[in-house]
Amino acid sequence: MDYTKRIFEALNYIQSENDFQPEFGIILGTGLGALVDKIRIEHTIEYKEIPHFPISTVESHSGRLIFGELSGKKVVAMQGRFHYYEGYDMKQVTFPVRVLKLLGVKKLFVSNAAGGLNLNFQVADLMIIEDHIDLTKENPLTGANLDEFGGRFPDMSEPYERNMIDQALAIAKEEGIRCHEGVYAGVSGPNLETRAEYRFLKIIGADAVGMSTVPEVIVARHMNLPVFAISAITDLCDPDHLEVAELSKILAAAAKAENGMTILLQKLISLQ
Ligand code: HPA
């Protein structure tokens, strides 16, 4: 079936289940798991119930849409997101973003885990994504343009809304949360990078590197949806002093960053 038709079938199913009209969409990536507890949940829908929706392969992710109120605003949150390295193609990875837009969200909030390349960063710091470099292996906009969503050659001069970045930096300062702004390099994974690759990423201007977010942001911008995205710096990737990556350490760093990220997002959304 035609991709656009599948998007509308998913939308129709969700709208037949509840008439909740979210103002904001949130992709609960690493660091934002605890934000769920701050949402006054009105309704949830399992991904597996929604026609054509991809299903999460990562067991720790439940895979559902959560509709409710956060900081006095109506939100829809994706609990469980899709990565290219899991075997989905980029059109599957970004399918839910199209559906969120059609549900009426006015802004998209995204989080992720990333390796820190900037030597000023410490483990468990936050980095607000100010710009990105797409090094992924497939572009979600490849193929016939979906004219009903946006133009053929989407503008990328401000992929991340400047006003929200400034608001978030001010919140972090007020709250004493360690937070930077920087450039995120998006890669396909699943392997981490070699020392030569980390060196390359630093030279081309990246402050952090991770395996998500860029495809979702490209599709959001295709639809002219403003985006705010933030990384939890889970490990430091200094090519001259590279340590063996340990998943347990990465997860511990993500957990440490969670509290600050949750506060920051709650306050940022209250200002929109
Ligand atoms: N590379 C890519 N993705 C990551 C990293 C990294 O070093 N750390 C956390 N996510």
List pLDDT tens digits, range 179-221. Answer: 999 999 999 999 999 999 999 999 999 999 999 999 999 999 9
Higher pLDDT, 31 or 89: 89
pLDDT band (50, 70, 90) for residue 30: confident
- Give the number of other CB atoms < 10 A from CB of residue 152: 10
- Domains with residue ranges and CATH for the chain: 3-270 (3.40.50.1580)
Nearest CA to ligand 1 atom 8: 115
- Ligand 1 centre to CA of 187 (Å) is 9
- Ligand 1 centre to CA of 159 (Å) is 21
List pLDDT tens digits, range 2-12. Answer: 999 999 999 99
Please indicate whether residue 209, judged by its CB atom, sits closer than 6 Å to ligand 1: yes
Please indicate whether residue 255, judged by its CB atom, sits closer than 6 Å to ligand 1: no
Please indicate whether residue 112, judged by its CB atom, sits closer than 6 Å to ligand 1: no
pLDDT band (50, 70, 90) for residue 61: low
- Ligand 1 centre to CA of 179 (Å) is 18
Under a CB-based contact definition with an 8 Å cutoff, are residues 161 and 228 in contact? yes
Nearest to 40 by CA among 91, 4, 75, 6: 75
Nearest CA to ligand 1 atom 10: 114
All residues at 6 or more sequence positions from 194 whose CB lies less than 8 Å from its CB, including other chains? none
Under a CB-based contact definition with an 8 Å cutoff, are residues 26 and 78 in contact? yes
- Ligand 1 centre to CA of 15 (Å) is 36
Give the mean pLDDT of 35-48: 94
Give the atom of ligand 1 at the shortest distance from the alpha carbon of 192: 1
Beta strand extents in 98-157 (DSSP E only): 107-116, 126-134
- In the predicted structure, residue 58 carries a pLDDT above the cut 80: no
Q: What is the pLDDT of residue 266?
A: 96
All residues at 6 or more sequence positions from 59 whose CB lies less than 8 Å from its CB, including other chains? none
Q: What is the pLDDT of residue 29?
A: 87
